[in-house]
Structure 1
């Protein structure tokens, strides 16, 4: 455990003023999101019966775009699968077997869902929990290891930062 001193921003002098970021219009948000995922360069095969990341082939498979109720649902699932994509041994090498053994799959799903939420927040996508069937498995993991949620959030943050680095690198090159 670590201790931190916190101060209300009103108590601090000389800080830059961070104004809230205005929501982008839907078409701009969708264009930005498409560009974000394109910059990553993951192989995505559309038209499959379900969404999944297949580590042995290092590809993401997704249903047709029209199978989703709206663009937000599509992008939330796409973000979830991209978080799985970051765990590949050639990227962030997220090997959870040593710590979570039989629960590694449930823990990876927790990482992917938290990472998808972080990615959607960055992209201004109003995603929602689409994997409620995993909640029982997540609760089992969380009951067995009180620090699991911190580990999951940390890994999700690293995965999100990894994905963001592709579009941020291109933005820096364009500037």
Structure 2
């Protein structure tokens, strides 16, 4: 089992960005998300005192959340895996498991709004998807920085999907089996 730290997460590409196939991530009507980004970019450039980075982050989060491609889970911390093992790998509300973005959303929005001209549709979708990756962690683990985590493949975003779920994820038999497999393979201390 390979452990990663958030700083290792760019291990797939020298520049830290991985080209993501929007079709694989099921971004239907990607141009409509881009249109909304264009509006946010323009509003921020015209009135940054009103459309602050914080406000634009809230807007972009609302636009891009609860979609099949949102908050793609690519790993889990040891503490979160242990908590899941204590409940037979089932999700229980209030059990203290959450998702943590590897890159804070506010940093992603800063990156998207920084250029004087907005990014192309492909550029926008690639940056958003690259930076929208998350790790399952125990409550409190994501307050300052994300600890080491067990990385796993989830290229299509189907595991732990938050499609139509804003504050959680879908936790089915497939997710239980995946977590059980990780637990059985890995070292625990």
TM-score, with normalisation over the residues of structure 1?
A: 0.24
Q: Which is richer in helix?
A: 1
Q: Which is richer in strand?
A: 2
Tell me: higher relative CO, structure 1 or 2? Use CA pairs within 8 A at least 6 residues apart: 2
TM-score, with normalisation over the residues of structure 2?
A: 0.23
Higher gyration radius (CA): 1
